[in-house]
Structure 1
Amino acid sequence: MTENAWGYRETSGRLQGVDLSGFKVEAVDGGIGKVDRHSDEAGSAYLVVDTGPWIFGKEVLLPAGTVSRIDVDEEKIYVDRTKEQIKNAPEFHREKHLGDAGYHGELADYYRSGGAFGGRPL
């Protein structure tokens, strides 16, 4: 767990310089899509995940603190949330929310509380 929703956990296996674009993203109960974009900016690290047909082609923004493990060899990122928790997160619109501090705060609060179903908080 991490107090900072926007930072990778030391135990996640995040290696500097590794491009995560195209990595598959796995929730605790199955795949949710692939990384379309990511940021490693200190205090503001995140993944933008293209969900494909799972949520009708929408994208979701996942704070780096949701990442439990990265497997570089398999090109997979594991997050410690369920598909339902991710689906119920505040809706993400790339052009509106990427640099929006208010949205980032709302999203961090959602995931810190464990999401809509009281899962593990960040």
Structure 2
Amino acid sequence: MQPHPFPFAPWMWRDAVALFDNRNEAVVDHDRPDVGLVGYEVEAVDGRIGKVDDANARVPADCLLVDTGTWLTSHQVVLPVGAVAGIDHGERRVHVDRTREQVKNAPEYDADFDADEFRARLGEYYTESYRTAP
């Protein structure tokens, strides 16, 4: 496995301009552009993961809250925006550069989490998954 040429920055959008492509400027919240993604399907490199959850505003703006559960169960994970490879607003789909398993195995969202501790754990998890990406 070859090392990646650039360090992974989990808390930064790769291409912030992509958030605003093909969007009606009147509906974009520039303070929380991620909130406009609520309900979007989330796709991993190997298939569908889930949807950006309605409660996305409860997590920091540099994260997405993704529900990976079924209609019977709810399993929420926090996805740092650095894992977002692209956004298709026409299809209402967020593409991430991780596998379904990597996202589903991420630390589960807990509304009572200690922000600094959870953020550190989440950043370590996704940075490590970037190092071991195929």
Describe the SS at the equivalent of 2:112. Answer: helix
Superposed, which structure 2 residues align to 1:75-94 within 5 Å?
75-93=92-110
Q: Radius of gyration: which is bigger?
A: 2
- AA paired with 2:39? G
Report the CA distance between 1:90 and its aligned residue: 2.0
Distance 1:50 1:12 in 2: 25
Distance 1:101 1:40 in 2: 11
- AA paired with 1:110? Y
Deviations 1:38-88 (A, max 9, x none): 5673xxx1100111329x421110000000000111100000000111122
Structure 1 length-normalised TM: 0.78
Structure 2 length-normalised TM: 0.72
Distance 2:63 2:7 in 1: 14
- Determine if contact 2:46/2:99 at 8 Å carries over to the other structure: yes
1:7 corresponds, among 12, 19, 24, to 12
- 2:74 alignment partner in structure 1: 57
Deviates more, 1:29-38 or 1:73-82: 29-38
- Determine if contact 2:75/2:108 at 8 Å carries over to the other structure: no
Distance 1:40 1:101 in 2: 11
What is the percent sequence identity of the aligned residues? Answer: 38
Superposed, which structure 2 residues align to 1:35-46 within 5 Å?
35-36=52-53, 37=56, 41=61, 45-46=62-63
Alignment root-mean-square deviation, CA: 2.7
Superposed, which structure 2 residues align to 1:22-33 within 5 Å?
22-33=39-50
The size of the alignment, in residue pairs, is 114
- 1:110 alignment partner in structure 2: 125
Report the CA distance between 1:92 and its aligned residue: 2.1
Q: Which has the higher strand share?
A: 1
Q: Deviation above 4 Å: which 4+ runs of structure 1?
A: none
- Determine if contact 1:12/1:70 at 8 Å carries over to the other structure: no
